[in-house]
Chains A and B, each alone.
Chain A
Amino acid sequence: MQDVGLKPPRSKTIHVAVCGNPNCGKTTIFNAITGLRQKVANYPGVTVEKTTGQFQLKDDPNIYTLIDIPGSYSLSAFSPDEYVAVQALLGELDKSAAPDLIVNIIDVTNIDRALYLLFQVMQIGKPVVVGLNMMDLADKRGLTIDIPRLEKELGGVPVIPLIGSRGKGIEELKAAIALQASVPHVPHRDFYHPLIGLTADKMIHQMQNGHVTRAEYLRVLFDINGPAEKAFIKEHGEKGKILLDDGRKSLIGEFGSLTIAETQSLTQRAAQVTEKSVHARRSTSRSRSEKIDKYLLHPVLGPIVLMLIMGFIFQSIFSWAEPIMNGIDSLFGALAGWVGSSMAEGPLQSLLVDGIIGGVGSVLIFLPQIIILFLFIAFLEDSGYMPRVAFLVDRAFSWCGLSGKSFIPLLSSFACAVPGIMATRVIEDRKLRIITILVAPLMTCSARLPVYAIMIAAFIPYTILLGFLNSHGVVLGMLYLLGLIVAVLVSLILKRTVLKTQRGTFMMEMPSYKVPTLQSILVRVFNRAKSFVLRAGTVILAITILIWALSYYPRAGDASTDYQSRIASIESTTSQQVAMIDAEISRLALSPEQQEASLFAGARFALVESPDELAAVRDELYLLRPDQLAAVELSHFRRTVELASLEQIATLENDRAGAHLRNSYLGRMGRTVEPLFAPLGWDWKITMATLASFPAREVIIATLGTIYNLGSGVDEGSSSLVQKMRDAKWEDGAKAGLPVFSPAVALSIMVFFALCCQCGATVVTIKQETGAWRYAIGVFIYMTVLAYLAAMLVYQLFSRIGW
């Protein structure tokens, strides 16, 4: 390379970690800076895994990699999510991505407590920028912050006021990050009581070992049984251990306990800093939240309100979604009709109409339900109600082996078990956490919702109960309840047998209530809708194409040519008859006008619906001449002949399609395994659709859509899947001719789906989060067995009572 006088500055990647107390707005600010859309909600513990994003500044060659981490109250981790946070901050998660700079976000309404973490973070020795978030609330709470004073008290650390939710102060924050990142040397900062510093110095002196810094000694001192202590002892052996014990003993002698030694120095410093830089005009009040909690946490009203909210959600999912769904449904029907008629018959047309539109399309119809569910969930999550529910249910949950903190992960599992299982990281106790993970897949995830919705819409009679509850919503609610009840039973059993638990702890902050921002709700709903559509377009599409191919091929066969010739002979007989009738009509030698008048009258006669109309038409016919009347009769006869032949052909086509399907690879497999699922009341089509949906639940709908499209000869793409399922009949056997689906069969399918672990992603996540395959496999086995038995029980029970 040529050496030019002015070399362009080399671009560096600068890692910036965003830390702070739980729920202080870290992710909001992370999103504002990077333009990403990570989940934001109003409860502690939303983020449980680190995520990265990037930003760049004008006239700055560097690339800044921002790392959003879980919230934490201090560097002594108490739960797995905090452990992730601390590891990320200390650069122990991934040495190459160790933060070069730390942005500490502080909720201005709780500045005093936040300083505790800030002091610890400053002691790590990296450049620090403070983002003072929620400045909009400072005014409302009567707080005035003297920012220059605060910066001074913090030894020159820049403090940037922010309103994360409105994107205010973000540019200033970026500039401050860039400026601090270029600072070559960070002064050592130490907020401990002088005696603690002296103790550390004494240890350094005795060690005579240059490469351990004072900051590291301080951390080791307070990290009882923690990773820092272990690493230290491993490195320095017995001598290090003795030294450490001596140091700790002298501190205990001085302060009473190590905890007090550390916390007291930091909390006292925090109080001093707050006193000098924050001016409270009136005592900080949370009066509004307190008033709401009087009702929502009331011993009697609280649980009632909770149940009303849940009930309202299930009711709305059906009553709000129905009209939109019908719209989408007929849209897909029209699309299928159009594609079907504008393409030549053949595999490609079938793949498009039967596989993709009939299969994947019938899954997409349920988008409105997903959107409505998530509108509610996002609203609840951003309002601050979630931790209240945890508070209400903690006692009951801990009785059955869970904890109040299990509530939010379990509720997240209503969306999808994968983030739900991740969210269990907020649970401190390992066994409680594992039990929560093992039952989370029993929660009704949104992939089950379409399955329930279609079965309920097709086979559960719609009635109004008690004057305001629709039966569809009630059944849906009961299915959600079923998952919950089974989860309770399973965790009770686990608690008593393999995972004997103590009660664990429950220490949680209750955030103030907030009117959810439209933006955060829309983002959540949009993200979910997007992933639903993506899922339909990827996993479900792939499986559906496979299923289509398995049920379309093999094509050739004697049966096929046999049907072909029978259809052809019907067609030729019909055309002969029609020709004869036409000859008769022309023999009448009517003028074109007369012929038209008689045809018109004949058509009207065929369409008569009421006695009045009949009288009118009869009067019209009286006006006709006898030869005209003959023409009317003849054309009527021709219509009958044509219709009869069409019907015969349709039956033959249907039979042919049915024979094809039965003879297809899928059909042969299905009929082999059919007996296995006969006790559940299923035919081979349901059986295969269910087996195909083990990787992803929605596949059952896509598969049924494809199978029923292929199984019907005439192009019925325009009649809905619900209708086709209602029309399905047993082809042979003892039940031949009877409808395949009855309410009992629909219930057995739904119960099977409620309890079965049909989700590849869940199994993998369980392995990841527990670190052991045995839990993942265990979940898969217990759920599948349970699902089979329960579905059998339900079918046997309900079919006996004639459902």
Chain B
Amino acid sequence: MTYLNKLNPGQRAKVVGYRHDSPIARRLTELGLIPGRTVTYLRNAPLQDPLEIQVGPSCLSLRHAEASLVAVEVEEPTSL
């Protein structure tokens, strides 16, 4: 298990939970980062932060700080 911010661009992973309960975690859930869903790490912004992910039909951008709350299980070996 690792955290969403630790992935590499292009990697896919499954959300397993949150580091701890907080309003940010709640908001991320509401935005679709629901345990059991698959996320794709799309890219980093030019200055590294924020990052962009895709979950279900929507693309979200969040900062590394927020992404580090999301515990994930990598689905396939690093494609890069």
Contact = CB atoms under 8 A, between A and B. Distances in A.
Interface in B32-61: 32, 34-35, 42-50, 52, 54, 56-61
A507 B49 contact: no
Given A507-B60, A510-B61, A395 B54 contact: no
B6 interface: no
Contacts of A112: 32, 56
A292 to B, nearest CB: 12
B63 A506 contact: yes
Nearest to A73: B30
A140 B39 CA distance: 23
A394 B63 contact: yes
B66 interface: yes
A508 B61 contact: yes
A53 interface: no
A391 interface: yes
Contacts of A290: 42
Contacts of B24: 505, 507
Contacts of A76: 23, 26-27, 30
Given A73-B30, A116-B30, A507-B60, A391 B21 contact: no
A297 interface: yes
Interface residues of B, number: 36
Nearest to B59: A510
A110 interface: yes
A506 B46 contact: no
A267 interface: yes
Interface stretch (A298-306, A368-376, A565-573): A298-306
A207 B65 CA distance: 42
Contacts, number: 116
Contact of A394 (B43, B45, B56, B60): B45
A391 B50 contact: yes
Contact of A284 (B21, B29, B31, B56): B56
B36 to A, nearest CB: 9
A76 B59 CA distance: 21
B25 interface: yes
Nearest to B22: A259
A211 B63 CA distance: 44
Contacts of A259: 18, 21-22, 25-26, 29
Contact of B50 (A263, A286, A394): A394
Nearest to B53: A510
Contacts of B28: 507
Contacts of B61: 387, 390-391, 394, 404, 506-510
Contacts of B25: 259
A74 interface: yes
A113 B65 contact: no
B53 to A, nearest CB: 10
A739 B36 CA distance: 75
A469 B22 CA distance: 51
Nearest to B21: A257
A286 B54 contact: yes
Interface in A412-456: none
A390 B65 CA distance: 17
Interface string A17-53: 0000000000000000000000000000000000000
A157 B37 CA distance: 28
A113 B60 contact: no
Contacts of A508: 60-62
A639 interface: no
B78 to A, nearest CB: 19
Q: What 6 pairs between A and B have smallest CB-CB spacing?
A: A395-B47, A257-B21, A510-B59, A73-B30, A299-B46, A263-B29
Interface of A: 73-74, 76, 78, 109-110, 112-113, 116, 141, 256-260, 263-264, 267, 284, 286, 289-290, 293, 297, 299-300, 302-303, 387, 390-392, 394-396, 398, 404, 503, 505-510
Interface of B: 18, 21-32, 34-35, 42-50, 52, 54, 56-63, 65-66
Given A394-B45, A507-B60, 12 more contacts: A76-B30, A110-B58, A258-B21, A259-B22, A284-B56, A300-B46, A404-B50, A505-B62, A505-B63, A508-B61, A510-B52, A510-B61
10 contacts: A109-B57, A110-B56, A110-B58, A257-B21, A259-B22, A259-B25, A284-B57, A286-B59, A299-B44, A390-B61
